[in-house]
A and B are shown apart, each in its own frame.
Chain A
């Protein structure tokens, strides 16, 4: 077999014949069997310890390389940016971000009949215990929307925890749920993945309703709301936050409950398809763009 590879030029006359083709066929069959064997063994969980170990060993390298990528990306963008405008832009973005975050909190406050509570009081009502994590590996192909973060079981992470992040001018918002945990790393299933379904609350003009949200990446979109209790509230501009009911409703999902009140996004457009009304949601934080995230470890009641 080795000679077959090392002496390729000498095989020009033989590769096209039956023997050469058969040899390539055997080689391909053998390697494909190895891949299928690995797949079978990993799906059975037999290779999970090795998977975790290697992932842990590679985590420092991936973190540094991802940093390098972000630095290069920023440097590339900086070439086209006017410094003063950029600083002004940053200041304005921060202001907008703060205002949007306040808006989300105030809308929720109305629904919860809190009557003109101040922002501080809202924050006190929702104190999340957070842990920060760097994004080490972004989604590597189009089949799934997942990322790897630099925190794991050693930091107290368990599958099902909510992961929040911030991009641009938006408020801190849900970007995914911890799907699998290794000792020092964890994989996060992004909200935009088709396999990610969450119970959410839609808040619009002082009223609210429950709905089911599902990722739409594999359908060519971002997020979609459906099965709302009150279809009429699915309107453009309505705010979407997590309802925290996924666990209670016992959906057959690997995702455990996400705390209620985590901002998710805003409805872009609502559509009637005859029987049901559904809405496309624009997430506050783009899961593909976040570089640093926070995992909600617990909610102190």
Chain B
């Protein structure tokens, strides 16, 4: 059977590649299969990662899985950047900041996660879209923030929460059972 240590490294590499492949598939689903409602796309990669992390934080009572979520966010973000016309790193940066801030916020508050999930989802989507808009603002065209916030960000957050909550509840039920 050989030395178990090299096999462990192999397993790690395989698991890591599986994670990368999984995030590429999730990104592909986001940009192709997910419906665009009223011109607003659903940020599936963000919602999937965040809901999974929220359930993990709730189950383990720690932020231990945040590091893995950040790494997955990097994979998913780079995949999204490759699939779209955005500069490489844009989605990765937005995803990681959104997930990190949401996780830190949830980790610090001693409140039932079911109650925290909605503000966590809303806050994460807000951070995600604002970071992407800032990149657009600084690299392409200056935005007018007030109408952008009122007429684009708010509907985007509402839609993300509407889609994210059932996803969170489903993952919560699945992982806890």
Q: Which A residues form the contact surface with B (CB < 8 A)? A: 1-2, 4-5, 8-9, 11-12, 15-16, 20, 23-24, 27-28, 31-32, 34-43, 47, 51, 54-55, 58, 61-62, 65-66, 68-69, 72-73, 136-146, 148, 179-180, 187, 192, 194-195, 217-221, 288
Are A39 and B93 within 8 A (Cβ)?
Answer: yes
- The contact string, 1 if C-beta is below 8 Å from chain A, for chain B 122-155, is 0000001100110110011101100110111100
Q: A31-B73, A38-B89, A61-B28 are in contact. List 13 more A-B contacts (CB 8 A).
A: A8-B60, A11-B64, A16-B62, A35-B92, A36-B93, A47-B88, A65-B33, A140-B41, A146-B84, A194-B143, A195-B136, A219-B148, A288-B36
Binary contact readout B25-52 vs A (1 if CB under 8 angstroms, 0 otherwise)? 0001111111110011101000000000
Q: Which residues does chain B contribute within 8 Å of A62, judged by CB atoms?
A: 28, 31-32, 83
Contact of A28 among B12, B39, B100, B150 (CB under 8 A): B100
Contacts of A28 in B (CB 8 A): 66-67, 70, 96, 100
Given A37-B89, A73-B35, do A142 and B151 touch, yes or no (CB 8 Å)?
A: no
Residues B87 and A68 in contact, CB atoms below 8 Å apart: no
Complex CA–CA separation, A4 to B66 (angstroms): 10
Known: A24-B66, A34-B74. A218 touches B28 (CB 8 A): no
Q: Which chain B residue lies CB-closest to A55?
A: B82
Of A41, A61, A194, A219, the residue contacting B88 (CB under 8 A) is: A41
Q: Name the contact of A36 in the complex, choosing from B40, B83, B89, B128 (C-beta under 8 A).
A: B89
Q: Which of B67, B93, B144 has the most CB of A within 10 A?
A: B67
Q: Which residue of B lies closest to A182 (CB)?
A: B85
- Contacts A5-B67, A11-B64, A219-B151; A143 near B88 (Cβ below 8 A): no
Residue B106 is within 8 A (CB to CB) of chain A in the complex:
no
Least Cβ distance of B58 to chain A in Å? Answer: 13
CB neighbours (8 Å) of A2 from chain B are 12
Q: Is B78 an interface residue (CB 8 A)?
A: yes
Known A15-B63, A69-B33: A142·B152 in contact at CB below 8 Å: yes
A143 touches B28 (CB 8 A): no
Q: Are B67 and A140 in contact (CB under 8 A)?
A: no
Q: Write 24 A-B pairs (CB below 8 A) sorted by A numbering.
A: A2-B12, A4-B64, A8-B64, A35-B77, A35-B92, A39-B89, A39-B90, A39-B135, A51-B81, A55-B83, A58-B83, A62-B83, A68-B32, A69-B32, A137-B83, A139-B36, A140-B83, A142-B129, A142-B153, A143-B133, A179-B85, A187-B84, A195-B140, A218-B148
